[in-house]
Amino acid sequence: MIWDWFIHIHPVAQALIRVLLIVLPILILVPGMIWWERRLLSWMQDRIGPNRVATLTLKNGKKISFWGLLQPIADGVKLFLKEDITPAAADKAIYFIAPALALFPAFALSGTLPWGPIKELTPIADVNIGVLYVMAISSLGVYGVVLAGYSGNNKYSLMGGLRASAQLISYELAMGMSLACMVLATGSLRMTDMVKDQEGPLLGLANVPVVNAIQNWHAFTPFGFISMVIFMVCMVAETNRAPFDLPEAENELIAGYHTEYSSMKFAVFFMGEYAAMFTFAGVLSVVFFGGYHMLPIRWEFLSGTNPQFASLIGFFRGMDYWLAPIWFLTKCVVFLSAFIWLRATLPRLRYDQLMSLGWKSLLPAALANFLVVTTWIFCNQMYGPVAGLGSVLVGALVILGIYRGVKKVYPSPVYEDRTITLVDPAKAAG
Amino acid sequence: MLEGFSLPFPITPQLGVFALLASIAAIASVGVVFFQDAIRSALCLVINFFVLAFLYFSLNAEMLGITQIVVYTGAIMVLFLFVIMLLALGSQKLVKEKLDPKKFIGLGLGVVMAGAVASQIVLPLAKITAIRAPDKFGSPQAIGYTLMSQYVYPFEIASVLLMVGIVGSILLAKRRI
Amino acid sequence: MQGVPLVAFLALGLFMFTVGVVGVIMRRNPIVIFMCIELMLNAVNLTFLAFARYMPAPVVTNPSIPASVMGGQMMVIFVMAVAAAEVAVGLGIIMAIYRLRDSVDIDEMNLLKG
């Protein structure tokens, strides 16, 4: 009967409840993400990480540990109680709104994210332009960074802010191009259409015996795989995470664009970064990994061809439908762990390496992928899925040939080979 | 004209939403002109463009609204802010605006022009409230279809123009060509 | 939205355009002048879209979606593209002038005077 009440209230009230349904979990997940990052990062660095905070000590001296789950609460309390220092010569109005401007896109990004199959509950707004909305809001994320860097009245934070925003707008291009490939393949900009398109048979092969029971998750298609790799790299760059965290490099730019921010405002930047990580991971899973589906298996198709397993398949279908938010959350956690893994493994990129990666490697790769997707669409619709795959192969070979040809005509600079031979002291003396 | 004054249109919630958005846009546009600090002018313009995008959404032109956010708010205004910050043009010491006869002439000219346009173009159209465009006319499918079929020549020429713009701005910004 | 008359959008567009014109005449910082030009372009965009919605031209050239209905939106797309290119080049010019003369007061740029 809650459902009946929900269906009949005003659409604006329904929209507000949908907003609460995604904003509250993100707010609860951000401390969880902080804890998970610190623990996972420590395990990868061969240490233990914070595990003391939530330990209960009973009367007889025994301790029950809760693995430090309250550590983020302790961090929050510390940040809240720190002294809030405002630089005297800072531009006060901009200094105050910059953290809010950094937090707003992180939460607004989840406006078109479908985290379950029930249309009235998710996404908040199932607009015609869902994927482009993600691009638009992520391009608004530049303002928080630029204004935070400027308002500190400090050359280091200004440089950090400008470099961070240059990084953000460079990687937005490749991100938009890779999302555009997927939009072309799907034919629609709606997020729910993205998920629906990934429910079909793999690569459109509806007649091949085993393959047509697998869902068409875009990460399993050849051009979708390349788009996914490009999108993942751009995602890491957009959220200013290592190895792209030059703007926050502690040993180079003090703390980059949030140098002059202390206590609560710094906590707001921090929270915005983690919320953005979560929503980008959500976008990655919706566009490339089937959204809220449990496994890439087409249950209805299997129940049609194998009626003897109908009850078992029905059980799996029920789990897929009703526990959809849990699968979405699992995928987001997996990608967040991938973010943390990247941070633990890779060294930081230098600024010129970062820019040349974005402009000279990712953007041409995304563009070439775009051309291959267009040939796939054409051949798929005219000649069927197998011809489509063949055209993808031919297109990939053509582009590789062009790349090799260009490299032959304009080779990469060959650095002189300097080898150092150490003089053996015994031989030198004798 | 004022006897028996009644509004030719009823007050609806949509009109209230429009009034809110339009007033924010109008105040932001006035802020662009009247702030002495260039950064605050730029931020007022950002607010103006953002609210304009919502107005485009209310006109059912959702593709153009989101393009407004991506292109104008997300790229053009960021470029403005970059240039203002890099050249440190935000400080008031650099360009002191003194009281000029230009200001009053400008204001007078603006008022005269607005009055002329309003009386000749806006007032005769005062009765129109019916929407005549089809419902999906702002959808990406409609825009994409039209752009690639009837307007493909301007589309290609616009892409050449953008390339010329890119090359030109790189050359202009280089310290040594 | 239903219930909003055409003149409301036109009045807002006219107001923004007038503020832009006044800004171009009044201000001396060339970047702010540039921003007022962008304001004028956006006012024009709003007017185009308002007319595209309320008074599309009645000529039907093609049964699916008449090109005339989409004409307003096409104009807005091209205005956005041209404005983007213009801003890039114009800000490049301003930066070059600043490097040369170390000042951006347009009242001092009077080499061609007299």
The C-alpha atoms of residue A65 and residue A50 are separated, in whole angstroms, by 11
- Residue A252 has a pLDDT of 62
**Residue bearing the bigger pLDDT, A44 or B96:** A44
**Residue bearing the bigger pLDDT, B167 or C111:** B167
The C-alpha atoms of residue A233 and residue A237 are separated, in whole angstroms, by 6
Q: Is the Cβ–Cβ distance between A380 and A204 less than 8 Å?
A: yes
- Strand, coil or helix: A201: strand
Q: Is the Cβ–Cβ distance between C72 and B64 less than 8 Å?
A: no
- Residue B98 has a pLDDT of 66
pLDDT band for position C81 (cuts 50, 70, 90) = very high
Question: What counts of helices (H) and strands (E) characterise chain A?
Answer: 16, 2
The C-alpha atoms of residue A217 and residue A199 are separated, in whole angstroms, by 7
- Residue B74 has a pLDDT of 92
Nearest to A129 among B82, B86, B140 (CB): B140
Alpha-carbon distance values, A83 to A86, A266, A402 (Å):
10, 12, 59
> Tokens for A300?
């209805």
Residue B33 touches chain C, beta carbons under 8 Å:
yes
Q: Give the Cα-Cα-Cα angle A174, A177, A181 (nearest 5 degrees).
A: 140
Mean per-residue pLDDT for A365-392?
Answer: 88
Residue numbers in A near B74 (CB within 8 A): 136, 139-140, 142, 172
Looking at residue A64, the DSSP 8-state letter turns out to be E
Q: Does residue A117 register a pLDDT over 80?
A: yes
> What are the pLDDT digits (tens) for A223-265?
899 999 999 999 999 988 878 887 776 556 565 666 677 778 8
Q: Does residue C60 register a pLDDT over 60?
A: no
The C-alpha atoms of residue B137 and residue A128 are separated, in whole angstroms, by 12
Model confidence, pTM: 0.89
> Tokens for B89?
């043009």
What percentage of chain A's residues is helix, strand, coil (to nearest 5)? 70, 0, 30
Among chain B residues, CA nearest to A163? B82
**Residue bearing the bigger pLDDT, A389 or A208:** A389
> What are the pLDDT digits (tens) for A2-54?
888 888 888 888 899 999 988 998 988 898 999 999 999 999 999 988 888 87
**Residue bearing the bigger pLDDT, A131 or A52:** A131
**Count of other CB atoms within 10 angstroms of residue B122:** 17
Q: Does residue B1 register a pLDDT over 60?
A: no
Q: Does residue A429 register a pLDDT over 80?
A: no
Among chain A residues, CA nearest to B69? A136
Q: Is the Cβ–Cβ distance between A151 and A91 less than 8 Å?
A: yes
ipTM: 0.88
State phi, psi for B4 to the nearest 5 degrees.
60, 45
The C-alpha atoms of residue B164 and residue B170 are separated, in whole angstroms, by 10
Q: What percentage of chain B exceeds 90 in pLDDT? A: 47
Q: Do B140 and A91 touch (CB under 8 A)?
A: no
**What is the overall mean pLDDT for chain A?**
86
Q: The dihedral of CA A397, A402, A406, A409: what is its sign?
A: positive
A236: number of CA atoms within 13 Å, CB side?
26
Q: Do B85 and A127 touch (CB under 8 A)?
A: no
Nearest to A136 among B39, B70, B139 (CB): B70
> What are the pLDDT digits (tens) for A253-302?
565 666 677 778 888 888 899 999 999 999 999 999 988 888 888 888 88
Q: Does residue A109 register a pLDDT over 70?
A: yes
Contacts of residues A71-79 at CB distance under 8 Å and 24 or more positions apart, as own/partner, are: A71/A34, A71/A35, A71/A38, A72/A30, A72/A31, A72/A32, A72/A34, A72/A35, A73/A31, A75/A34, A76/A31, A76/A267, A79/A263, A79/A264, A79/A266, A79/A267
Q: Is the Cβ–Cβ distance between A145 and A161 less than 8 Å?
A: yes
- Residue A300 has a pLDDT of 81
The C-alpha atoms of residue A121 and residue B115 are separated, in whole angstroms, by 49
Nearest to C80 among B32, B67, B147 (CB): B67
Residue numbers in B near A169 (CB within 8 A): 75, 78
Touching chains, A (3+ CB pairs < 8 A)? B
> What are the pLDDT digits (tens) for B138-158?
889 889 988 888 889 999 999
Alpha-carbon distance values, A320 to A117, A173, A281, A290, A300 (Å):
9, 35, 20, 12, 11
Where does B35-151 have alpha helices with state H? 38-58, 62-67, 77-86, 101-117, 140-149
> What are the pLDDT digits (tens) for A180-233?
999 999 988 999 999 998 888 888 777 777 787 888 899 988 889 999 999 999
User: What is the total residue count of chain B?
Assistant: 177
> Tokens for B59?
């006109």
User: Nearest CA of chain A to the CA of B79: how many Å?
Assistant: 10
Q: Give the burial class of A374: count Cβ atoms within 10 A of its Cβ; 0-12 exposed, 13-18 middle, 19 or more buried.
A: middle
Q: Does residue B102 register a pLDDT over 80?
A: no
Q: Does residue C29 register a pLDDT over 90?
A: no
Q: Is the Cβ–Cβ distance between A214 and A222 less than 8 Å?
A: no
- Residue C97 has a pLDDT of 86
The C-alpha atoms of residue A268 and residue A261 are separated, in whole angstroms, by 10
User: Nearest CA of chain B to the CA of C114: how many Å?
Assistant: 19
pLDDT band for position B53 (cuts 50, 70, 90) = very high
**What is the overall mean pLDDT for chain B?**
85
Mean per-residue pLDDT for B41-46?
Answer: 95
**Residue bearing the bigger pLDDT, B94 or A362:** A362
Nearest to A139 among B63, B70, B86 (CB): B70
